[in-house]
Amino acid sequence: MRIAVISGSPKGEMSVTLQYVRFLEEAFPGHTFSVVHAGRDIRSIERQEEAWERLLATVAESDGVLWATPVYVMLVPAQLKRFIELIGERNAADAFFGKYAASLTTSIHYFDHTAHDYLHGICDDLDMRYVGSCSAHMEDLRKEAFQEQLVLFFSDFLEAIAEQRPVQRAYPPLPAPSSPCSPATPPAAVDTRGKRVVILHDGEPGSGLAAMVGGLAACYGGSARVADIRDAGMKGGCLGCCRCALENTCVYDDGYRAFWEEYIVPADILVMAGTVRDRFLSAAWKQFFDRSFSNGHVPAFKGKQVAYLVDGPLGHLATLREVLTGLAVMEGANLAGIVTGEPGGDVAAALHALAERSVRLSERGYVAPVTFPAVAGHKVFRDEIWGGMRAFFKADDRYYRQHGLYDFPTRDYGKRIGVRATSLAMAIPSVRRDVVKNMPAYMIQPLEKAIASSRVLAERKAGR
């Protein structure tokens, strides 16, 4: 069979993900693998019609398509995102129609599921037959157990093609774009109380997004700083070179870092506004997020209020919402809210409520307690950095040491002693019976002191 491999890595032949593809080539010598370097060659694909036509021919002539890409900031790299946008812009879906598809990613298993969900949705939109995905840790190929699973994954993909296996669509088509919203002038400007508000966007003049950005800026009484992310002068997307690891300094010499320092660093309230393109925001926004990797694994939005304006069918895009939420909480911020221009809601009222809430929460210093994604994400970063990445990611290692983020349970010696003593006591039959009988009471006993102090705390926070 002929397999078209769409490589999303900007590193081309040096891509870690592509080495997994090379393994499959050796394991399945009876099949032909044709690699399309969508990530590496995105500039020429955009500008040269010959390169574009050659790429489409490779896909059209294939029996199946394997999307092979690293995961950059919870999704595919911006370069691959731009390639997917080009398919829609140039009405090239016919080359993909009916093709069996699968995805193969490499990462440290941090939000790899959202990258796969995104690619699955794109395949459904292109009327492809998405068979499944394989998510690998960057070093998994060295393990024989994983090699066996990779072979089984690809065997299933080939069998689906050979059998012409029926595949159901998982993601419904997105609704047609609605008319651009035109938020009304707010009844009264919100007093920002000295909080620095920044609104970043990539909206075109006259667009629905531009109207939302203007409406929100008016809610802040004109005190918000508004900037187009394209004014950062980014020369390109993240290269995945990891040369920023030592000192959190990007290899690019462009305006991105200065833009970041001017707008994001001083902001107390940061609003990011974008328009849905396919199933995410634009490739420009994805490039902006990817380039933030030069900050390493340090929570770059720590203590800020973060909000989003989304022009498009966010209600139909759970993966996009998950990524936007994850970006906020994993960077140490509080998600103040998301406003969309979808039909059926009072956008003007929602914008005004968002402005009021963001200022109120910023003034109070509120950051919501984290849930599973942030807890699990922290542990992934912590263990990866400590387990080997700290040899190269020196800036991350320093930050994690200084801020106590190497919070391994083994360092809580008091708890270790207590657990050991309890474990020994539980070996005594009478103690075990008593604990089992009174377990609910033992579980709430440590919390009673906190309950007793709750009124005092609430009054102090209320300023009474």
> 379: how many CB neighbours lie within 10 A of its CB?
12
CA 70 from centroid of its chain's CA atoms: 13
- For the chain, what percent of residues have pLDDT higher than 70? 97
245 φ, ψ to 5°? -60, -35
Region 197-364: CATH code: 3.40.50.360
Quick one: DSSP state of residue 37? E
Written as one letter, the residue type at 141 is L
Tens-place pLDDT, residues 222-263: 899 999 999 999 999 999 998 888 888 899 999 999 999 999
CA separation for the pair 375, 330 (Å, rounded): 9
What is the amino acid identity at position 383?
Answer: D
Q: How high does pLDDT run on average in the chain?
A: 93
pLDDT at residue number 182 = 67
Residue 410 has pLDDT above 70, yes or no: no
| Tens-digit pLDDT profile for residues 372-390 | 999 999 999 999 999 989 9
**For residue 448, what pLDDT is reported?**
79
CA distance 127 to 28: 27
User: Is pLDDT of 432 > 90?
Assistant: no
pLDDT at 105 over 60: yes
CA distances to 31, 58, 67, 272 from 25, in Å: 8, 17, 15, 42
**DSSP state string for 82-115:** HHHHHHHHTT-GGGTTT-EEEEEEEESSSSHHHH
The pLDDT of residue 464 is above 60: no
Across 99-103, 178-182, 270-274, 433-437, least confident range: 178-182
The CATH superfamily holding the domain 2-163 is Flavodoxin domain (3.40.50.360)
The label of the residue with tokens 């003593």 reads 421
Termini Cα distance of the chain? 74
Query: Whole-angstrom Cα distance, residue 25 to residue 19?
Result: 10
Residue 201 — φ and ψ, nearest 5°? -155, 175
* Furthest-apart CA atoms within the chain: distance in Å: 81
pLDDT band with cut points at 50, 70 and 90 for residue 191: very high
